[in-house]
Amino acid sequence: MATVEIDGTRPGPAIDGALWGTNLTNLASAAETVEHPLFVGRARAINVRVVRWPGGNNASAYDWKRNEMIRPGRRVPRPEGVDLGRILRFVHEIGAELSITVNFGTMTAQDAADLVEFLNGPPDSEWGRRRAELGFPEPLGVRFFEVGNEENQPHMWAYSWTAESPEKYFFGGEEERRGFYADGPKGDAFKTSGGPNQTYTLRFPPVRDVRAFWAPTQRDAEAGRWEEWLPVATLSGQPPDAKVFELDAERGVLRFGDGVRGAVLPKGVMLVEYTTYGHDGFLAFARAMRAAPSNVPIQIGAAVLPFRDGVPIADPDTMREIFSQMDFYVRHQYDSSLPVRAYGDYNARRQFAADRVDTLKAVYERVASYARSLGLPRAPAVAVTEWNLFLNEDFWHLNRTLGGAVFAAEWFVRVLNAGLEDGLPVWYANQFALGGGNLSLIRSQTNHSVAPMGYVFQGFGSWADSRLLPVAVDGPTARAYDREVPYVTAAAALSPDGRTLRVALVNNAETESVGVALRIEGLSVGERRLWRLAGDSPEAHNERDPQNIALREEPPASPVGEIALPPHSVVFLELAVEASAPRGP
Q: Tens digit of pLDDT for each residue in 198-212?
A: 999 999 999 999 999
Stretch 452-478: mean pLDDT, rounded? 98
Residue 474 has pLDDT above 90, yes or no: yes
**Mind listing the pLDDT tens digit for each residue in 477-529?**
999 999 999 999 999 999 999 999 999 999 999 999 999 999 999 999 999 99
445 pLDDT band, cuts 50/70/90, is confident
pLDDT at 45 > cutoff 60? yes
Q: Specify the DSSP class assigned to residue 471.
A: E
The pLDDT assigned to 583 comes to 52
pLDDT at 495: 97
Q: Are 575 and 411 in contact, with CB atoms under 8 Å apart?
A: no
Helix (H, G, I), strand (E, B) or coil at 430: strand
Average of per-residue pLDDT across 87-96: 98
What is the predicted pLDDT for the residue at 520?
A: 97
Q: Which one-letter amino acid corresponds to residue 317? A: D
> Taking residues 346-364, what's their average pLDDT?
98
- CB burial of 43-67 (b: ≥16 within 10 Å; e: otherwise) equals bebbbbbbbbbbbbbbbbbbbbeeb
> Using CA atoms, how far apart are residues 130 and 442, in angstroms rounded to an integer?
32
Give one DSSP letter per residue of 557-575, joined into a string.
Answer: -S-TTEEEE-SSEEEEEEE
Question: What mean pLDDT do residues 368-394 have?
Answer: 97
Average pLDDT, the chain: 96
Our CA angle for 117, 123, 127, nearest 5°, is 35
Rounded Cα gap, residues 418 and 263, in angstroms: 66
Residues β-bridged to residue 376: none
Side chain identity, residue 201: T
Beta carbons within 8 Å of 51's beta carbon, 6+ residues apart: 21, 22, 23, 24, 87, 90, 91, 94, 96, 97, 98, 99, 430, 434
Band the pLDDT of 585: cuts 50, 70, 90.
very low
Q: Which of 150-154, 257-261, 456-460, 553-557 has the lowest average pLDDT?
A: 553-557
The reported pTM is 0.96
User: Using CA atoms, how far apart are residues 503 and 500, in angstroms rounded to an integer?
Assistant: 10
Q: What is the pLDDT of residue 446?
A: 85
| pLDDT, average across residues 178-195 | 96
Give 392's contacts (C-beta < 8 A, 6+ positions apart).
334, 335, 340, 343
Q: Check if the beta carbon of residue 82 is closer than 8 Å to that of residue 26.
A: yes
Predicted confidence band at 4 (pLDDT cuts at 50, 70, 90)? very high
Residues 6+ away with beta carbon under 8 Å from 222: none
The CA distance from 435 to 429, in Å, is 16
> Does residue 34 surpass a pLDDT of 80?
yes
The confidence score (pLDDT) of residue 379 equals 97
When pLDDT is averaged across residues 151-171 and rounded to a whole number, the result is 97
pLDDT at 174: 98
Across 383-399, average pLDDT: 97
What whole-number distance in Å separates Cα of residue 506 and Cα of residue 411?
A: 10
pLDDT bucket at 582, cuts 50 / 70 / 90: low
**Domain architecture of the chain: domains with CATH:** 15-168+281-337+382-402+426-465 (3.20.20.80), 173-279 (no CATH)
Distance CA 66, CA 77 (A): 8
